[in-house]
Amino acid sequence: MEYETVIGLETHVQLKTKSKMFCGCVNLFGSEPNTNVCPVCLGMPGVLPVPNERAMQLTALAGYLLNCEVPGFAKFDRKNYFYPDASKDYQITQFDFPSTTTGHVDFEFGGGIERVRITRAHIEEDVGKSNHFAQHSGVDFNRAGVPLLEIVSEPDLRSADMAYEYLNALKEILIYGGISDCDMEKGMVRCDVNISVRPIGAEELGVKVEIKNMNTFSGMRRAINYEVPRQIETLESGGTLVQETRRWDDIAGITESMRTKEQAHDYRYFPEPDIMPLKPDEAWLTEVRSHIVELPLARKQRFVRDYGIPAQDADVFVGNVALGGFFEKAVEGAKNTKAIANWVINNLQARLIETGTTVDELKFEPAAIRELVGIIDAGTISSKGGQEVFAELFENGGSPVVIVESKGLAQVSESGELEKWCQDAIDSNPGPADDYRNGKENAINFLKGQVMKASRGKANPQVVGETLAKLLKG
Amino acid sequence: MADTDFDIQYVANLARIALTPDEEAKLGHQLGDILGYVKKLEELDVTGVEPMAHAVPLANVLRADEVRPSIPQEAALANAPKQANGLFIVPKIVE
């Protein structure tokens, strides 16, 4: 029997705030353990958690970027469970009235555009970090209370690769919107994966297995690629699958059972009595909406459509927003947009990386690249001369036209001086000249090289070729 | 009127408390009385009444995203039964 894989993801993303979700402790990775903590995030009795307004704004903004609705009413709830990394023995989250609902993410996959529906994106608090030792575990609560956005997708993903691309697209959107830095190394993105299989054509979903706490996208992809055949083999061999939570062992490359449905946690959600409900009004939402940015995919499509550049080039300008912004200014009113893209990507980007410079620190205006491409296309300078002009431009700024003048880089195209160089080359190299006359067309390249040398690179190679051919044939 | 429609052992497990059979009987009876008392509320007709999220009629009580000082590590760990290298030491639980 042929099976279809059905995957839904719950993605947890730390929000880019200065302080934690319910207290003023700094939201910062990498500090000494238990130094960014206070009675609120340590779960001491009698404290009062107060939601961070910036986190609520970022939640609503994320909702808009994920095409979600932002309802006029939301609230917080307590999710009760015992685990050492939960300081209060409950987590403050949103249960039945989340801050955003029903959206979707469009992303590129398999040569087309796919859409994954978003069930909801709600705000909650992160938990502490456990370090496991031989006999004990050690808990650091610096992470406890960091604002965490949980983005729940519908089971619309059909393969590990598709899930992988969805996560990359999601990450890019969140980085674009300034919602999160999505730094994987710092554990800012983690996801739970729900996987089931069903016979192709079946309406009903198969028995669902949840794999918890994946902290790399590649690990998630490997886990799915392990789990899907396991489920299919179980069914094929006449076995039955049980709804369960499994753990991914990245070293062994397998999933193993953590708990079944019968052992599932009873979280006993109830409204958080310490926090007032949220009723975002129109003025507040309008302010949030003013921060909506163009999504990466839309940006890519626009660059390809409006500037006629290849998709790979557009990808560079999606991945590097500042460079893309520079390109958009450079390309204003230009004809040869592809050449401008090439200069920006191959030359400018390379130099920026080499020198550790940012686009903001550049000593020249974007229009200078347009000017540079213009004078190359006009034959005023060679592309090699262009490299020299660019080097000078990058070092000291200025205008390409002025640099060409001051460095004497303009190509010689007038026949007078050129013809003399060409005649000299022919006269001093009778061998290659005869070869050419006898039909060995390549021999002209040697003569061309001699002329370029004599002109110290200033001769226009195209005109040199034409002149040589004319003189040799004449 | 006592409410007996609950599992005292299940509830005790959720609260992570160990009860002797005697305690189970005693606490089960007491909890049943409490639930039975609260159950009186079910006699009220609340048709058409919106569930409320909070008893206080306030919304959007938020704080600005400003960092305030945390407490020193020694203070954070002061009540820890066990500590090492700045961490709260707990029994090893891997889930």
* β-strand partners of A154: none
Listed by start position, the domains of chain A span 3-289, 296-407, 415-473
* Interface pTM, i.e. ipTM: 0.88
B29 CB near a chain A CB, below 8 Å? no
Q: Which of A26, A38, A55 is opposite residue B71, by nearest beta carbon?
A: A38
B49 CB near a chain A CB, below 8 Å? no
Residue closest to A123 by CA, chosen among A212, A49, A216: A49
For domain B1-44, give its CATH number from 1.10.20, 1.10.1240, 1.10.3470, 1.10.443: 1.10.20
Q: How far is the C-alpha of B58 from the C-alpha of A373, rounded, in Å?
A: 62
Q: Where are the alpha helices (DSSP H) in chain B?
A: 8-14, 21-38, 73-77
Tell me if residue A212 falls in helix, strand or coil: strand
Cβ atoms of A257 and A227 within 8 Å: the answer is no
Is A137–B94 a contact, with Cβ atoms under 8 angstroms apart? Answer: yes
Is B62–A23 a contact, with Cβ atoms under 8 angstroms apart? Answer: no
**The two structure tokens encoding residue A63:** 């909702």
Listed by start position, the domains of chain B span 1-44
Class of domain A415-473: mainly alpha
- What is the pLDDT tens value at each position of chain A, 474 positions in all? 889 999 999 999 999 999 999 999 999 999 999 999 999 999 999 999 999 999 999 999 999 999 999 999 999 999 998 888 998 999 999 999 999 999 999 999 988 999 999 999 999 999 999 988 888 999 999 999 999 999 999 999 999 999 999 999 999 999 999 999 998 888 899 999 999 999 888 888 888 999 988 888 888 999 999 999 999 988 888 888 888 888 888 888 888 888 876 676 788 999 999 999 999 999 999 999 999 999 999 999 999 999 999 999 999 999 888 899 999 998 988 888 888 899 899 888 998 888 888 888 888 889 888 888 888 887 778 777 888 888 888 888 888 878 777 777 676 666 677 778 888 888 888 888 888 888 888 888 888 888 888 777 777 777 788 888 888 876
Q: How far is the C-alpha of A72 from the C-alpha of A36, rounded, in Å?
A: 33
Residue numbers in A near B76 (CB within 8 A): 34-35, 37, 42, 141
Cβ atoms of A468 and A425 within 8 Å: the answer is yes
Q: Which of residues 58-87 of B touch A (CB under 8 A)?
A: 58-73, 76-77, 82, 84-87
Is B53–A18 a contact, with Cβ atoms under 8 angstroms apart? Answer: no
Q: What residue type is A67 in one-letter code?
A: N
